[in-house]
Every structure is written in C-alpha cells, then in structure tokens.
Amino acid sequence: MAKGIEVQTAIFGDAITQMRKNTTESMKPLMINDLSGYCFGDFYTRTGMSVKDRELVVFAAIAALGGCEAQFKAHADANLKEGATKQNLIDALQVAVPLNGFPRTLNAVTVVNSIA
C-alpha cells in the first residue's frame, strides 16, 4: 500500500493526496485499497518496465476501452510528466487503429489534443 501510494503520488502529484483526503469511508476499499494498493502497489512497483513504459501501456489500454475519458486524460497527462510527447501519444494511438477502430481512436485523439 505505501509503495503504491508513493508511486501514484509521484505520477499524479497532489491530486492523490486530495483523493485520499476526500475519499469517504465507504469508498476507501475501492479507491485506496484497490486502486492505490493493488493497481499501483502491486503492478506499478514491479521490475522489468519503467514507469514511463507502464504509463504508455496503460494509456493504450484505456484508449482501447473507450468511455473512460477522465482516466484517459489523467494517464495522457501522466505520460507527458514521465517524458512522452503529445506526438508519442498520437503515434501510439495510430499503431492501435487496426485494433481500436477509428471512432475510438479519434475520441482518444480529441482528449490528447485537449491537454497542454
């Protein structure tokens, strides 16, 4: 849990501190235990891939899911913070066009184009 919160905060900054502070008791099992502990603690802290590479994989997976614009934007921003460029993100989306299709890809491009 502690390592998950550490890596999550390193990627997303104060938003994680605020999320932890504002999460209601009933939502803590999902938002803290599962997201911070399981997702970030168990997966983002593993060896073999850099956080930058993990973020690109997550970015591509969320793009494939569609309908997750808030999370997609957060991970697009995280990719930029980890050193990717907007062009890297567009290139990743272009590679996935045969798998994701144009509508989902174009929705993802719209999100990428909306970030600073």
pLDDT at 116: 66
Q: Number of structural domains, the chain?
A: 2
Say yes or no: 27 and 65 in one domain.
Answer: no
- For residue 57, give its domain range: 49-116
Measured CA to CA, the distance from residue 50 to residue 105 in angstroms comes to: 25
Do residues 38 and 19 share a domain?
A: yes
62-94, pLDDT tens digit by residue? 999 999 999 999 999 999 999 999 999 999 999
Same domain (yes/no): 92, 112:
yes
Report how far residue 72's alpha carbon sits from residue 82's, in angstroms, rounded to the nearest whole number: 15
pLDDT of 19-48, one tens digit each?
A: 999 999 999 999 999 999 999 999 999 999
Q: Considering only CA atoms, which of 92, 87, 88 is closest in space to residue 105?
A: 92
Give the pLDDT score at 113: 95
Q: What is the CATH number of the domain that holds 113?
A: 1.20.1290.10
- Same domain, residue pair 25 and 53: no
